[in-house]
Structure 1
Amino acid sequence: MPKLRVFCWTDGPDVPQIDVSPCSITDGGHTAVEKQSVSLNCQAQSNPTSQYVWFYNNSQVYTGPKFTITKILRIHTGSYACQAQNPNLNTISRKSINLTVYYPPEGSPSCSVLPAMNYSSLNLTCSWPGGLPSPSLRWTRDLLYLAQVRQ
């Protein structure tokens, strides 16, 4: 009777892949909008399946492949890392991303009208401090676009 040979192999984990949903990707990393639910999914090829640990600014915050923040706030801006571990080999692989939380400015714009050029014209000013990214104000007259100013 022929002998049956069984091979078991263990390897990994590979460098984790992190998917953030919903989000946008910028030069500085990933962005999300304040008060939305944001999910971070981690996957790393490994045999046996990896065990996952999430870190926020180098502090452990969650165990498992999917980390969800149900109502993300501006204070959640920072570095998120997924660590994948092969439980048999005790090998670890880690990947980090930067996540910036966008939020609107508070309140309403502050605007003023001042006379200029010896009262022959008017100087219109508006500001709306706060928010990330900085707000952009558009000037219109009778619904016609006049100018756009970035704060």
Structure 2
Amino acid sequence: MVTRSDILLANGVGVIMSDSFYSVDFAFSFPVPATVISNEDRVKVLNYIRTTENPTATILVAQGWKDVVAASVVSFSSRGPNPITPDILKPDITAPGVDILAAWSPVAPPSIDYKDTRSLNFNIISGTSMSCPHTSAAAAYVKAGHPNWSPAAI
């Protein structure tokens, strides 16, 4: 499997990944421009590379789409029921933290590659720790309006 560091070591300026290679339910920051394409488009890209003397590509700004499918819990998030007493519901708010925009230390690289020299004040990453402040604020807001509600009710 190719890693983000391999891209930089090969003097790569961008990366195109197929959705079978890259999990699409959470995000990573890359030290180069990156995009994820479908397996069908992957076949088209490979055919283009194989039949063109000097293949080139341009990664454009993403276009949004409306997801009409019901929300789902991402692969890295814990799930209920309570493992000790399954008949008791967990009083958790589902907040898997997918693609969360949050403050970021400018002395830390925005990707996991130690050679990434960029400096950012904000970053978009995934993880339950990223969603915790946002979810806690939402719970505090609900609690302020309903001070007698239990955590399970909130």
**TM-score scaled by length of structure 1:** 0.24
Give the structure with the larger helix fraction: 2
* Higher Cα Rg, which structure: 1
Q: Which has the higher strand share?
A: 1
| TM-score (structure 2 length as normaliser) | 0.23
